[in-house]
Structure 1
Amino acid sequence: MAVTAINITMYEQFYHLKEDPFRLSPNTKPCYKHASYSHAKTYMLYALRRGEGIVLVTGRSGTGKTALLRDFIHSIKNEPVVTADLVSTQLQATDLIRMIAVGFGISQLTNDEAEVISELETQLSGMRNFGRRPLLIIDEAQNLETESLRKIELLMRLRWKSEPLLQIFLIGRDGLHELLLTEKLKQLYAQVNAVICLEPLDESSTGEYIRHRLKQVGWNNDPQLADEIYPIIFNYSHGIPRLINLICSQILLFGMTEEQHFFGLN
């Protein structure tokens, strides 16, 4: 039986765009640096160069924390920093120390946690002695169990001369800050030196963000977007980039199916 080929036109083809401007997965193109984003990145760089304690970076789901983190890591690639970047996917407390050790290049580990911490201390001290600073980054840190977070407190007790041996950035949703304020974690929270919050976009920045995403993929004002459409998108998305992307993707899909090249209030 013959197979009939089905030609499916994507809206980026219909509007002559190089690629999908509103894809949900983080891309490698330059981020839209709105005020809160620039503020957060500046403080992250400042905190890193001070090299003290724990830094919290929080924000609502979809505000761009992962994109910010990738941008930050790219910005420090030429600095004397050794980075271990972990994503917390319900890591058990018993696994966390081992994953951190692996992240810093220790391949052969025993089952004794005290020995693993001792090996990690030796490894990190060697880095510091050669002028390199170890930085641990844990994304989605709100998923860590209380016991896992207490393991982090254990690592913060390690010293190099008079400084913390290890600097830690914890990245997570808003609940992360509240979690660390609980009685069981008050000693860990005492070592937090900065709390950075990535805020959603305001109404003006929402329009700038949409145009930025479109221009990155060769937009030549097709489709044409009336100024009145941006406040509507802002009201429905609350300025959260992930929701803006979803709404704009649906608008372009609708426009393609209806063969529209102009979007306004009607």
Structure 2
Amino acid sequence: MIDMYKSYWAMEFNPFVTNNKKPSDDRCFNSGDFKNAIARLEHLKNIKGIGLFTGFSGAGKTFTLRYFANNLNTSLYKLVYIPLSTITVLEFYKALAYGLDLEPPNKKIDIFRDIQQRIISLAKDKKITPIIIIDESQYLKTDILNDLKLLLNFDMDSKNYAVLILAGHPVLNSTLSKQIHEALKQRIVINYSFEGISKEEVKEYIDSRLKLCGVHSEIFNTNAIEAIYGCCNGSIRKINTIIDKCLLVGYMKKATTIDTDIVMNAQNEVELI
């Protein structure tokens, strides 16, 4: 069915369906969020320390972080990406140790020491900056958050040897505002909140995706684009899902353009999933 509607709309491939390919320059949409977040990530990479990046689901956080990570110079930076934050303190330390190419000992205090020594060794001896990304950080346990400020505290040396990026939903800001996390919050040097794709950017996004797959005609009329924005509240993930369904419904109806009625039909199908 997908191949049939791709042919119907003269698409070389479906740019609205998630695949496993790493984010590349030609597949990136330079939304305001993307440009602002990348600029801050690049700055954080240079100054080191802790960065906080938050936004609702589908706003583009993970895509932006993956793009940033995939474009790091591996001779200058050591990436450690921890995607699952619903883990115990010991599991967290072991995941971080493995990411730094360490064989973790059994005790937390020993793993803690080894991680700190590894970070210092990479920075001082090899001139490599560890970049640690913790996605879905809103699920981190209080004990882990309490330890993070200690993990990057290297005795009396105030110099930062690593980059720690905490990414998660907006509730993470509320969590870090609690008194118990005041010391960690004070160490955050970059704080960016994703706002989601704007109404003006939706048409640009759709047009850029269609051109990417070889379509240069106007498939979606103005009212349809406004309806898509209204359905998705700034979430690129939701936009992709709705558009995929719009293309399918439009194909089934043998439509020449996508209008508001088709968008509403597609939205109804999505809500039933």
> What is the TM-score of this pair, normalised by structure 2?
0.87
1:104 matched to which residue of 2? 100
1:17 aligns with 2:14: no
Q: CA deviation at 1:85?
A: 0.9
Q: Aligned equivalents of 1:93 and 1:13: distance in 2?
A: 51
Q: CA deviation at 1:69?
A: 0.5
| 2:232 equivalent among 216, 229, 237 | 237
Q: Kindly provide the CA deviation profile for residues 158-202 of structure 1, in whole angstroms up to 9, marking residues without a partner as x.
A: 359431333200111111111111122111111111111111111
Question: Is the CA contact 2:93–2:111 (under 8 Å) kept in the aligned structure 1?
Answer: yes
Question: Is the CA contact 1:54–1:193 (under 8 Å) kept in the aligned structure 2?
Answer: yes
Q: Aligned equivalents of 1:131 and 1:9: distance in 2?
A: 49
**Aligned-pair RMSD on alpha carbons?**
2.0
Opposite residue 32 of structure 1, the aligned amino acid is F
Q: CA deviation at 1:23?
A: 1.0
Q: CA deviation at 1:255?
A: 0.8
Q: Kindly provide the CA deviation profile for residues 21-67 of structure 1, in whole angstroms up to 9, marking residues without a partner as x.
A: 2114565342101112101110111121011x210011111011111
Unaligned 5+ segments in structure 1 are 1-6
Opposite residue 88 of structure 2, the aligned amino acid is Q
Question: Is the CA contact 1:203–1:234 (under 8 Å) kept in the aligned structure 2?
Answer: yes
Q: Aligned equivalents of 2:139 and 2:66: distance in 1?
A: 20
| 1:49 equivalent among 46, 50, 60 | 46
Deviates more, 1:120-129 or 1:202-211: 120-129
Opposite residue 76 of structure 2, the aligned amino acid is P
Number of residue pairs matched by the alignment: 257
Q: Aligned equivalents of 1:232 and 1:8: distance in 2?
A: 23
Question: Is the CA contact 2:220–2:259 (under 8 Å) kept in the aligned structure 1?
Answer: yes
2:180 matched to which residue of 1? 184
Opposite residue 136 of structure 2, the aligned amino acid is E
Query: In 2 relative to 1, CA 140–256 (structure 1 residues): closer, same or farther, beyond 3 Å?
Result: same
Q: Kindly provide the CA deviation profile for residues 219-246 of structure 1, in whole angstroms up to 9, marking residues without a partner as x.
A: 232x722223211111111121011111
Question: Is the CA contact 1:158–1:166 (under 8 Å) kept in the aligned structure 2?
Answer: no
> What is the TM-score of this pair, normalised by structure 1?
0.89
1:4 matched to which residue of 2? none
Unaligned 5+ segments in structure 2 are 262-273
Deviates more, 1:172-181 or 1:76-85: 76-85
Query: In 2 relative to 1, CA 26–191 (structure 1 residues): closer, same or farther, beyond 3 Å?
Result: farther
Q: Aligned equivalents of 1:172 and 1:116: distance in 2?
A: 25
Question: Is the CA contact 1:159–1:165 (under 8 Å) kept in the aligned structure 2?
Answer: no
| 2:210 equivalent among 195, 214, 230 | 214
Q: Aligned equivalents of 1:15 and 1:77: distance in 2?
A: 39
The structure that is strand-richer by fraction is 1
Question: Is the CA contact 2:85–2:134 (under 8 Å) kept in the aligned structure 1?
Answer: no
Question: Is the CA contact 1:128–1:160 (under 8 Å) kept in the aligned structure 2?
Answer: no
2:159 matched to which residue of 1? 163
1:200 aligns with 2:196: yes
Q: CA deviation at 1:88?
A: 2.2
1:152 aligns with 2:148: yes
Q: 3-state DSSP class of the match of 2:222?
A: coil
2:246 matched to which residue of 1? 251
Query: In 2 relative to 1, CA 148–104 (structure 1 residues): closer, same or farther, beyond 3 Å?
Result: same
2:270 matched to which residue of 1? none
| 1:83 equivalent among 79, 82, 90 | 79
| 1:59 equivalent among 28, 44, 55 | 55
Query: In 2 relative to 1, CA 160–133 (structure 1 residues): closer, same or farther, beyond 3 Å?
Result: farther
Q: Aligned equivalents of 2:157 and 2:47: distance in 1?
A: 15
| 2:255 equivalent among 233, 238, 260 | 260
Q: Aligned equivalents of 1:79 and 1:208: distance in 2?
A: 36
Query: In 2 relative to 1, CA 10–138 (structure 1 residues): closer, same or farther, beyond 3 Å?
Result: farther
Query: In 2 relative to 1, CA 67–252 (structure 1 residues): closer, same or farther, beyond 3 Å?
Result: same
- Identical aligned residues as a percent: 22
Q: Aligned equivalents of 1:26 and 1:231: distance in 2?
A: 29
Query: In 2 relative to 1, CA 265–8 (structure 1 residues): closer, same or farther, beyond 3 Å?
Result: closer
